[in-house]
Amino acid sequence: MLCFLFSALIVALDQFFKLWITRTLEVGDVGLELIPDILGLTRWENDGAMLNILSGQQWLLAGIAFVAALVLVMILLRYNEGFWGTLGLAAVLGGTLGNLTDRVFNNGKVVDMFRTLFINFPIFNIADIFITLGFITFLIHFIAISFKSGKLENVDDEQSDDDYPDVTQETDYDEFPDIDSIISAQPDQDEADMPDLYSPEPQYVKKTPQHPQESQYPPEPQYTPDPTTSILDSYEPIDDVASDTSFSLDELATELELDSLEEYDIDDILREYGFDEDE
């Protein structure tokens, strides 16, 4: 991968300058001024970390550098958040491997070569430069991605609010009425008579007229008998099924040799004549 190739180039550049400075200067000697009154060359061997942290703990620092290099390799194998983030991590990895190489092959000491002339600052090397620049690049890239992601999320939320307005303002509450609202709208109706709003089967409620005198159906006609007529006059002629003839009740009384049928029960007469109750 290109990021590991970039790290390898940093290690090669760092080791080349360290080899050149060890062959040119003795420890403590001052060399040329690369930038007048700003940056010059020297030779120094540091048995600690940057700013002489953990001085004398060379092999502890070597172990820490080895673990850090492994972690950076694992991150780079999975990291895909952009070019500048990958470049920054690769620079940190290259600088870490450059100083680790010194500790392994130079008795635990790191060769430094650059000194600042305008301020009193610790001497550093090319690996330190790439570690610092790589960390700053990755940090800026990470902050930019976080800011951009948060801004995009806010834009998406605003767009979603515009595309999907507040449904509570447009909901038709009459579609799912509350039982209390129905009872309050119809105070004359008991809650027990109300339909089950969520029942799968239809419910029917008997409608009660608001005024007792008003009814949905017309009253049924009442039959009042006429005292001047006999109840026998209302009967229709009876068909004789056996003889296929028709005769009235008066004829039936004559047939049975009776003066009048008013003294007899009509059912007894029909039963005597041969008809049962169903006929």
In the chain, what are the domain boundaries? 2-160, 237-273
Structure confidence at residue 150 as a pLDDT band (50, 70, 90): confident
Q: What is the pLDDT of residue 242?
A: 45
The count of other CB atoms within 10 Å of the CB of residue 56 is: 10
Structure confidence at residue 56 as a pLDDT band (50, 70, 90): confident
Q: Which 3 state secondary structure label does DSSP give 212?
A: coil
158 vs 148: CA distance, rounded Å:
15
Structure confidence at residue 209 as a pLDDT band (50, 70, 90): low
User: Scanning the structure block, which residue is given the tokens 């570690």?
Assistant: 131
196 vs 263: CA distance, rounded Å:
61
Amino acid at the residue 148? K
Q: Is the pLDDT of residue 230 over 90?
A: no
Catalytic residues, by residue number, are 112, 128
72 vs 134: CA distance, rounded Å:
12
Q: What distance, in Å, lies between the first and last C-alpha atoms of the chain?
A: 110
CA 222 to chain centre: 70
Give pLDDT tens digits for 68-105: 999 999 999 988 888 999 999 999 999 999 999 999 99
Cβ atoms of residues 179 and 191 within 8 Å: yes
